[in-house]
Amino acid sequence: MKHFLSIRDLERDEVQRLFRLTAELKARQKAREGGVPLAGRSMALIFEKPSLRTRVTFEVGMFQLGGSAVYLAAQEIGFGTRETVPDVARNLSRWVDIVTARVFAHGTVEALARHASVPVINGLSDLEHPCQALADFFTLWERGLDLSRTRLAWVGDGNNVCHSVLLLAALTGTAVTVCTPPGYEPHPAVVDACRALGGRVTLTVEAREAVEGADVIYTDVWISMGQEQERERRQEAFQRYQVNETLLRFAGGQALVMHCLPAHRGEEITDAVLDGPRSVVLDQAENRLHAQKGIILRLLGDG
Ligand code: CP
Ligand code: NVA
């Protein structure tokens, strides 16, 4: 693995290896037994969009591994305007050991990777959020779920997070039913890629049908960053797709609830469900830190 732009950069064996490495890093962190494998190494973090979890977990992760991180707001460095993306990539490669970028267009993170001589990580694009999916599936794995027998229901928008979840599910053998309003399905090329990997993907518009017998219910915002001008149309389209207590009653008694956060409480998910006993959202958020430390170490050849 040279870069981590997509779940497609992972092989099945690599996923299992990352889960084990993440578990080890998490245990070491809990025991405050850090070690400094990345002493003297640094990461550039470029953000075209806001972030809480991604920024903090990458910065803190690098620090805990003995390295450092430099945060670069895209508008401040004129990413793609003051200076071309390839030129930014070439310059950063002379100073830092690894680059993480959160971008609007997936093509931007691909261009960075093409022109950088150091590894590039996708910290969210319009197409994928691979770090999120990896932390999410680690969250299920560490709870002891057999991922090849798990049934996950995605309720809401067939968006970037949905794409990464689908692709990772194809690698772990997890069956996914994606329930979206008509016109908001995941990208057909992503669904085809999952099926080509042997992934079990079902598409439906019926939320109750999707969650019936599900072990995990996952939702995300109806309006992703950059889609603010579609707010009204989306809010109307998604009304019947809220994850609430009524919907949960149609799922298996022990179904876990996932959300990548930030949540729009009262829109795609209710307070009662988000803060309820089945919610694992804070474990997902915490595991971003541990899983990304694993990714960094693997990319830098230290894991
Ligand atoms: N889930 C996630 O990526 O959160 P942030 O947008 O806060 O980074
Ligand atoms: N789908 C959301 C995820 C945020 C972490 C977005 O792209 O805004």
Closest ligand 1 atom to 261 CA: 1
Give backbone dihedrals phi and psi of 177, rounded to 5 degrees, phi first. Answer: -110, 120
CA of 55 to the centre of ligand 1 (A): 8
Q: Are residues 120 and 25 in the same domain?
A: yes
What is the distance in A from the centroid of ligand 1 to the CA of 96? 23
Looking at all shown ligands, the one closest to residue 259's CA atom is 1
> Do 182 and 261 fall within a single domain?
yes
Question: Closest residue (by CA) to atom 4 of ligand 1?
Answer: 53
Which residue numbers are catalytic? 102, 129, 132, 220, 260, 288
End-to-end CA distance of the chain: 12
**CA 35 to centroid of ligand 2, rounded, Å:** 33
For residues 295 and 263, membership in a common domain is answered with no
What is the DSSP track for 200-229? -EEEES-HHHHHTT-SEEEE--SS-TT-GG
Ligand 1 atom 6, closest CA: 51
In the block, residue with structure tokens 């267009």: 105
What is the reported pLDDT for 252?
74
Mean of the per-residue pLDDT values for the chain? 97
- State if pTM tops 0.95: yes
268 with 291, same domain: the answer is: no
Residues 106 and 148 in one domain: no
The verdict on residue 291 lying in a domain is yes
Edge-first strand order for the sheet with 256-259 is 201-204, 175-179, 151-155, 216-219, 256-259
Residue at 40 is within a domain: yes
Asked, for residue 216, whether it belongs to a domain, the answer is yes
Centre of ligand 2 from the C-alpha of residue 163, in Å? 12
Identify whether residues 123 and 191 lie together within a single domain: no
CA–CA separation, 173 and 198 (whole Å): 8
Does some domain include residue 106? yes
Region 277-300 average pLDDT: 98
Query: Do 223 and 116 fall into the same domain?
Result: no
User: Could you tell me which residues come within 8 angstroms of residue 103 by beta carbon, excluding any fewer than 6 positions away?
Assistant: 46, 48, 49, 74, 109, 122, 124, 125, 126
Ligand 2 pocket list (CB less than 6 A): 124, 159-161, 220-221, 224-225, 260
Q: What is the pLDDT of residues 176-218, one digit of tens each?
A: 999 999 999 999 999 999 999 999 999 999 999 999 999 999 9
Ligand 1 atom nearest residue 124's Cα: 3
Do 163 and 241 fall into the same domain? yes
Domain that holds residue 61: 7-129+287-299
Are residues 155 and 88 part of one domain?
A: no
User: 134 lies in a domain?
Assistant: no
Q: Which of 192, 197, 205, 194 is nearest to 153 (CA)?
A: 205
The total of structural domains in the chain comes to 2
- Same-domain status, 160 and 74: no
Q: Could you read off the pLDDT of 100-125 as tens digits, one per residue?
A: 999 999 999 999 999 999 999 999 99
Residue 252 lies in a domain: yes
Residues 50 and 97 in one domain: yes
How much of the chain exceeds pLDDT 70, in percent?
A: 100
SS3 35: coil
Please name the residue ranges forming H helices in the chain: 12-30, 53-64, 74-77, 85-95, 106-115, 130-142, 160-172, 188-196, 207-211, 231-237, 245-248, 271-274, 281-299
Question: Residue 93's domain is classified under what CATH number?
Answer: 3.40.50.1370
Once rounded to an integer, what is the mean pLDDT over residues 22-36? 92
| Residue 21 belongs to some domain of the structure | yes
